A and B are shown apart, each in its own frame.
Chain A
Amino acid sequence: MTHRNQRRFDVILEIVIAILALLFLYPLFLVVFNSFKTYDQVLTNILALPKSLMLDNYKQVWTLMGYPKLFVNTFFLTLAGVAGIVVFGSMAGYKLSRTKTKLSGFLFFLCIMPMMIPFQSFMITLTKLAKTFHLINSLGGLGVIYWGLGAPLAVFMFHGFVKSLPMELEESGAIDGASRYGVFVRIVFPVMLPVISTVIILNVMWIWNDFLLPLLMLNGKQSTLQLASYKFFGQYKSEWQYALTAVVYTSIPPIAVFLVLQKYIIKGMVAGAVKG
C-alpha cells in the first residue's frame, strides 16, 4: 500500500468507527430525546428529535419519584460505604503487610478469601444475619454491610502497595517523634493516595449502581436510586416519558462524574481489575 492510500484508508476507517460509536450510543440518545417529549409524541414517533426542551417530565418525575431524597440517600450510602472501606481497608492492609507473624498471615488470608466466593452463595444467609443484627431496612446498616463486602479487595490492594514501600519511610517519622498512629495518618496514608483513589473509584461505581443488595436489604420506606427506579418502571410501565426521565435522572450523576474524571476512572477501574 502506498503512503497516500494508507492515509485515505485511515480516514475511511475513522469515519466507520465514528458511525459505529454513534450507533453504539444510539439507545442512550433515544432515551434522552424522548424524555423531553409528551406522552403522545413518544407514542407517535420515538425516533424524532424533541420539538423543544420541554422540562415538564423532569418536573413531574422529580416529585413522583421523590428524586431529591433518593439522591441524598444514595449519596450518603455511597459515601459511608466508601469511607469505611478506605479507612478500614488501608489500616488493615498496611498493618498486615508490615507484621510478619503467623497470626497476621492467617488474618490476611481470611480478609482476602471472600474475593473467591461469589456473593450469590451467601446472600441468603447474609440477609438472615443482617436481620439478627438489626442492619436490615436501614441505610446505615446497609452501609456497614458494604464495608465488609468491599474490604477484601481494598485490603488486598493496600497490602500489595505497602509491600513495595521502604521501611525507612516510617522509621524517619518515628525519629521525628510521631506516635504509632501519627505515623500512619501523617506519613503512610498520604503516600498511599494512588491506591486510595483506585479503591474509591471502584467502590463508588459499585455501590452507586448496586441493585441486588439493596433489593435484599431494604424493604419499605428507605430506598436507593436504583431500587426506586426499578419500582418506578413497574409503576409507570406504560408512561414511557416518565420512565425514561427517571432513567436520565438515575444515570446522570455517574455519567457526569465520569466525564469530569474519565482519565482517572478508566485507569482506576482497569488497575482494580488487573490487581483483583
Chain B
Amino acid sequence: MTSLLQNLIDGLGQGSIYALLALGVAVIFGVMHLLNFAHGELITVSGYAAVAAFGSNLSWWLVAPLIIVVSIVTSLVIERVAFSRVRGASEFTQLLTSFGIHIIVSAVLIMSVGASVKTFAEPPWIFDRIDVGPLSLEKFDLLVIAVTAVTLAATTWLLQRTTFGLSLRAAAADFDTARLMGVDSDRVIRGAFALSGALAGVAGIFWLMRAGNTDPSAGIDPMLKGVLAALIGGLGSLRGAVLGGLALGVAEVLLRSQLPSSVAVLTDAVVFGLIAFLFIFRPQGLITVQHAERV
C-alpha cells in the first residue's frame, strides 16, 4: 500500500510534465486541427539555450524563466516561418510540415553546434528526498506537481476568464463562426502557439533539469510523450490531455516498479502496447470532444 502510494506520487510527478506537454499539443490541435509533431523542438531549442546560459555561469533560477521565454519565442517563430504558410492547406500538408520542422531544426543544430550531447549540471537538490510518514518523496516530484498545479490553474483562468481565452475556445469549436463574430484568426492562432510554447517551457524546465543534457534530437521523446498523452486523453480535449499525461506518467512508474526487472527495461514497449489496446476499445480517447454542429 505504501509503495503503491509512493509510486502514485512519483508517477504524478512524471505525469505532470507529460500533462503540460500534452496540453500544449491539445491547444494547437483544438484551434488548427494540427497534430504538432514539432512540439518537442521547443524543448530541443530550450535545451541549447540552457547550455549557452550555463556557459555564461547563470544559475537555474535565471535559466528557468529563460527557458520559458525561449520556448514561447521558438513556438511563435515556428508558426510564423512554417505553419502560417500552410494555413489553408490540407491537414495532411500541415502534419508533414510539422515533421519537416523537426528535421530542419535538428539538421541546423547538427551543422551549427554539432551532433554531440551537451551536458549541464542538474540542480544540486534534484535527488533530495523528504520523508512524509512512511513515504520518502523526491523534492523534485513535489516541486513539479506544485508548479504544474499552479500552471494549470493559470491556464484555466486564462481560458475561462479572459477575452483571449473565450476567443480561443470559440475558434476551437467552430473557426469560421468565430471569425464571423470578429475573432481575428491570426491573433488567436499566434496566441495558441504562445500558450503552447509557455506550457512546453514549464515542462521543458523540469525535463532538462532531470536530463542534464541535450542533443539535436532531444525533442523526440518529449514530443512523443506529449502527443501520446493528448491522444490518450482524446484529441482536442484540454482536460483529457491533462488526464492523459497524468495517466501516462503513473502507468510508466507503476510498470517500471512492479514488473520483474528483466521486463522493466521494456516499460516503454509495454506502455505503447497498452495504449494500442486502449485505442482498440476507445479510439476517441478517454474524453470525447463534442464539436459544434457542423454543416
Q: Do A and B come from one complex?
A: no
- Give the A-binding residues of B (Cβ under 8 A): none
- Give the B-binding residues of A (Cβ under 8 A): none
